[in-house]
């Protein structure tokens, strides 16, 4: 590796390192919420299983199955080995809160034998099961919880989901989007570019740039690419001949596995899709690379088009895949997809800056 | 006929031309329903719409997703294209025209179309039934009312016109589309 002597401006062909991060749902990315509860030390360890059994009957804690009822108090300097969640503060709300909670208030003698339990104290417990490792670590500081880790999300959050080869591919596709953005900019358009890729074959199926300052105010780069994919499938609604950087690749069904070519066979995730695997259907199974985060119109157009994954470089003020909305994780919608940000971030950041004033209408 | 239209917000701050009388609504919506029927007969999702400027229909649309293989070809997008074409032919500024154009549509615009209508500063949308699956004017998201500084202007909605009829057409479509599909889960209205 060459030693880096001085900071210098990167030249045209040099790319600045970038990382790719998942854009998670609110449920996955927010910090955990906590509930107030009463816990008590188990003074007599031999009573533990009876206590837990009887507590579970008296205070079943519905919806909190992720919580471990008993926690060990190792090394905390306490005189008792275990602590147990007795109940939620809300479970005993009708008891006068001014009186100091004693174990006999929480566990009236008629209902349960509190032998073996010490004086209750207040704790905060996680209200929902943790979905990500950061949430799990945060939750565990309050009370032990179970955690069914989604390994892919954990790896993705560390920015380690993709191999160097995969990142090289991503860079290649995003570079194609940047080139399209620049071609559009030369025609007086906002510098936004996009490509749609079939990840199974590695081929770019459509490449386009923003045309909203040209023939159609709604021809954002994503909308252009969606129509170009349709052209490649023998459909399409618009003519982009005026824009030589807007191109599509014709795909046909002759590449079906049945026809002897496995290069374009897709891994299908359910039987419904498998039936249609030979006939390309809108953007099913495809990836989009776009230089900046799509707006709400484009994001929903991608839902309708059944896109598989979206990679964008930089965020947008009204962006709908992370900033203002997370359309890709929106509940009630019939299609969800993965979104990653950060690919070739700095290059696309520079594009955004160069976009602000229109230089000239002619190239 | 169901004439139970409800104004979600009184469009008092709209100019008179954007507060259509119930007679006007009835006559424009009749035409939108005719478009929806045409879509149903062509095997497309039965949504029909019109874009009306100065009491003139500048655009008519019905869903064209299947014939274009482009999932964004909803009735509203098709009609918007016709308004743009009209502007080109008449040499009119689309920005000025869209600002005074009302959309009449049989089903609540989806999130994508609501985003498009907002970007073009359409001031008023009159629609029939709600769109529980994709609706962008309150059902799933509320794009016309949300704060989006860089995405055009908020718009008003008048909803509920012949809603039952619009729902029935959608049901008829989903029945005919896939006779082998398992019975669709019914939503309680």
For A207-249, write each residue's pLDDT tens digit.
999 999 998 999 999 999 999 999 999 999 999 999 999 999 9
Instruction: With cut-offs at 50, 70 and 90, classify the pLDDT of residue A14.
Output: low
Structure confidence by residue, pLDDT tens digits, B38-63: 888 888 889 999 999 999 999 999 98
Query: Counting beta carbons within 10 angstroms of the beta carbon of residue B110, is it exposed (0 to 12), middle (13 to 18) or buried (19 or more)?
Result: buried
Q: What is the pLDDT of residue A236?
A: 96
pLDDT at A39 over 60: yes
Q: Does B77 touch chain A (CB under 8 A)?
A: yes
Q: What is the model's pTM?
A: 0.78
Residue B110 Cα, gap to closest chain A Cα (Å): 8
- Quick one: average pLDDT of A31-53? 92
Residue A332 Cα, gap to closest chain B Cα (Å): 7
Residue A323 Cα, gap to closest chain B Cα (Å): 11
pLDDT at A307 over 70: yes
Cα–Cα dist A44/A50, whole Å: 11
* Interchain proximity B72–A304, CB inside 8 Å: yes
Q: Does B115 touch chain A (CB under 8 A)?
A: yes
User: What angle do the packed helices B22-41 and B75-90 form, to 10 degrees?
Assistant: 110
* Cβ atoms of residues A343 and A171 within 8 Å: yes
DSSP state at residue A32: P
Cα–Cα dist A207/A188, whole Å: 18
Cα–Cα dist B105/B50, whole Å: 7
Highest mean pLDDT among A1-10, A84-93, A255-264, B161-170: B161-170
Instruction: With cut-offs at 50, 70 and 90, classify the pLDDT of residue B154.
Output: very high
Instruction: With cut-offs at 50, 70 and 90, classify the pLDDT of residue A278.
Output: low
A175 CB neighbour count, 10 Å cutoff? 17
Q: What is the pLDDT of residue A19?
A: 87
* Interchain proximity B71–A297, CB inside 8 Å: no
Q: What is the pLDDT of residue B139?
A: 96
Tell me how far CA of residue A253 lies from CA of A66, A233, A237, A262, B70, in angstroms.
48, 9, 21, 12, 18
Q: Does B141 touch chain A (CB under 8 A)?
A: yes
**Is B76 among the residues known to form the active site?**
yes
- Average pLDDT value over all residues in chain B: 87
Tell me how far CA of residue A40 lies from CA of A37, A86, A88, A180, in angstroms.
10, 7, 12, 64
- List CB contacts (< 8 A) between B143 and chain A: 296
pLDDT at B26 over 70: yes
Structure confidence by residue, pLDDT tens digits, A109-161: 888 888 889 999 999 999 998 888 888 999 999 999 998 888 878 887 877 77
Residue of B nearest to A334 (CA): B133
Cα–Cα dist B106/B22, whole Å: 15
- List CB contacts (< 8 A) between A250 and chain B: none
Query: Counting beta carbons within 10 angstroms of the beta carbon of residue A167, is it exposed (0 to 12), middle (13 to 18) or buried (19 or more)?
Result: middle
């Amino acid at each position: 590796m060459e030693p880096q002597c001085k900071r210098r401006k990167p030249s045209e062909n040099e790319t600045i390192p970038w990382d790719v991060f998942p854009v998670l749902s609110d449920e996955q990315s927010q910090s955990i919420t906590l509930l107030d509860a009463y816990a008590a030390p188990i003074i007599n360890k031999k009573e533990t299983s009876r206590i837990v059994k009887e507590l579970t009957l008296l205070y079943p804690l519905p919806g909190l199955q992720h919580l471990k009822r008993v926690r060990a108090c190792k090394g905390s300097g306490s005189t008792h080995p275990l602590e147990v969640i007795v109940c939620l503060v809300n479970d005993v709300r009708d008891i006068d809160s001014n009186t100091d909670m004693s174990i006999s208030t929480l566990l009236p003698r008629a209902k349960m034998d509190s032998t073996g339990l010490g004086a209750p104290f207040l704790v905060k417990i996680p209200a929902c099961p943790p979905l990500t490792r950061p949430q799990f670590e945060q939750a565990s500081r309050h009370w032990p919880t179970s955690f069914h880790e989604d390994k892919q999300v954990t790896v993705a959050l560390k920015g380690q989901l993709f191999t160097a080869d995969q990142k090289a591919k991503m860079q290649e596709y995003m570079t194609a989007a940047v080139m399209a953005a620049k071609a559009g900019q030369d025609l007086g358009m906002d510098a936004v570019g996009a490509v749609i890729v079939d990840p199974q074959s590695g081929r770019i199926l459509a490449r386009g740039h923003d045309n909203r300052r040209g023939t159609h105010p709604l021809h954002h780069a994503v909308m252009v690419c969606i129509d170009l994919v349709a052209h490649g499938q023998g459909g399409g609604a618009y003519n982009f001949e005026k824009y030589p950087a807007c191109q599509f690749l014709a795909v046909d069904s002759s590449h079906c596995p049945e026809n002897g070519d496995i290069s374009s066979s897709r891994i299908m995730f359910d039987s419904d899709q498998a039936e249609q695997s030979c006939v390309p259907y809108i953007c099913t199974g495809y990836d989009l690379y776009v230089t900046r985060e799509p707006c709400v119109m484009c994001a929903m157009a991608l839902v309708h088009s059944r896109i598989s994954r979206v990679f964008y470089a930089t965020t947008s003020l009204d962006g709908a895949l992370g900033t203002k909305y997370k359309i890709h994780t929106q509940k009630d919608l019939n299609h969800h997809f993965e979104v990653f940000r950060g690919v070739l971030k700095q290059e696309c950041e520079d594009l955004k800056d160069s976009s602000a004033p229109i230089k000239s209408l002619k190239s | 006929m169901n004439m139970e239209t409800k104004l979600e917000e009184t469009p008092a701050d709209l100019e008179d031309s954007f507060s259509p009388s119930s007679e006007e609504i009835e006559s424009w919506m009749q035409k939108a329903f005719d478009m929806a029927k045409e879509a149903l007969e062509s095997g497309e999702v039965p949504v029909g719409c019109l874009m009306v400027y100065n009491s003139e229909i500048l655009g008519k649309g019905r869903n064209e997703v299947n014939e274009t293989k482009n999932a964004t070809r909803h009735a509203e997008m098709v009609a918007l294209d016709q308004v743009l074409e009209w502007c080109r032919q008449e040499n009119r500024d689309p920005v000025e025209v869209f600002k005074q154009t009302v959309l009449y549509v049989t089903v609540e615009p989806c999130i994508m179309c609501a985003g498009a209508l907002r970007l073009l500063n359409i001031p008023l949308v009159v629609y029939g039934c709600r769109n529980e699956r994709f609706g962008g004017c309150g059902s799933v998201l509320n794009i016309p009312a949300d704060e989006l500084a860089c995405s055009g202007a908020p718009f008003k909605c008048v909803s509920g016109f012949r809603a039952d009829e619009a729902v029935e057409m959608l049901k008829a479509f989903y029945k005919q589309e896939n006779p082998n599909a398992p019975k669709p889960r019914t939503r309680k209205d």
